[in-house]
Amino acid sequence: MAVTRQKLAVVPADADLSKEDFRIRQLRARDMLRGDLEGEDLEKYVEERVLTTTLDKAVAWARSNALFPATFGLACCAIEMMSIVAARVDVARFGFEAFRASPRQADLLILSGRISIKMAPVVRRIYDQMLEPKWAIAMGACSSSQGLFNNYAIVPADKFMPVDVHVPGCPPRPEALMHGILKLRKMIQDDPDIPWREGHKAHGTEEVIPADEQEAAVNVLLPGPTSGA
């Protein structure tokens, strides 16, 4: 690599800054600090560098980039959740690595696992102890939809507390959880993605199966002797 010395010179006002020439920007900054920029040049310099926004947007931006998740795991999904702080996914890149041991210091509850009916009031209490504003992610099939269990003891999270994002999978990979957290970040910034159905103009089975055939579609194991029953 060759290092060349250049003589400092006042940068002409019509110099092309679009080329991202670092040297020109450096010299322009020097001129500004010296007080050599005046009138139109100074106005142009400030216009290129000042960003205006609203207080709400700035607060939402700060909140969405500094989520404090609660240190709280429920079942097998929690192992995947723990791994998001490791080097492979590295949630610290986004500023979410400070897992808090107290719900009073956390603003994100990741429901990482199945929730039994006995455990639901405990989870709800933890959620209630968190200060506003707060958010919740249902991680995995169990906390989103009762999961792979056809079991009277498991309850989906939506039944007893508000959930902002559902992450599908059993268990979801750490990357999937990360994707869910980034979706939540966009929601906090008031810029949510288009819902999947709306974006793909998709329809659920309940909309395309004729009404008289729906019962057979819902009951996978029909009443009576079946090989799987």
Q: Which two tokens stand for residue 44?
A: 């142009």
With beta carbons less than 8 A apart as the criterion, state whether 135 and 184 touch: yes
In the region spanning residues 57 to 86, those forming contacts with ligand SF4, defined by CB under 6 A, are 75-77
Q: How far is the CB of 165 from ligand SF4 (least distance, A)?
A: 15
Could you tell me which residues are beta bridge partners of residue 69? Answer: 108
Instruction: Report DSSP state, residue 221.
Output: S
Report d(CA 211, CA 208) in Å as an integer.
9
Choose the binding region for ligand SF4 from 37-45, 129-137, 140-148, 181-189 (rule: CB under 6 A): 140-148
Q: How far is the CB of 176 from ligand SF4 (least distance, A)?
A: 11
Choose the binding region for ligand SF4 from 1-9, 65-73, 115-123, 137-145 (rule: CB under 6 A): 137-145
Alpha helices, DSSP H, located in 21-76 = 22-34, 39-49, 55-64
Q: Of 28 and 114, which has the nearer Cβ to ligand SF4? A: 114
Q: Of 109 and 141, which has the nearer Cβ to ligand SF4? A: 141
Q: Is the alpha carbon torsion for 118, 119, 122, 123 positive or negative?
A: negative
Applying CB under 6 A, the site for ligand SF4 has a residue count of 11
Q: Of 77 and 155, which has the nearer Cβ to ligand SF4? A: 77
With beta carbons less than 8 A apart as the criterion, state whether 143 and 113 touch: yes
CB atoms within 10 A of CB 207: 8
> Is 123 among the residues that bind ligand SF4 (CB under 6 A)?
no
Which of 66, 153, 170, 222 forms a contact with ligand SF4 (CB under 6 A)?
Answer: 170
Find where tokens 């940068």 sit.
11
> Is 166 among the residues that bind ligand SF4 (CB under 6 A)?
no
In the region spanning residues 7 to 66, those forming contacts with ligand SF4, defined by CB under 6 A, are none
Q: Which two tokens stand for residue 9?
A: 């010179």
The amino acid at 134: K
Q: Which two tokens stand for residue 143?
A: 């906390």
Which of 147, 156, 174, 180 forms a contact with ligand SF4 (CB under 6 A)?
Answer: 147
Find where tokens 């055939």 sit.
213
Report d(CA 171, CA 214) in Å as an integer.
30
> Is 141 among the residues that bind ligand SF4 (CB under 6 A)?
yes
Q: How far is the CB of 56 from ligand SF4 (least distance, A)?
A: 36
> Is 142 among the residues that bind ligand SF4 (CB under 6 A)?
yes
Binding interface with ligand SF4 (CB under 6 A):
75-77, 113-114, 140-142, 147, 170-171
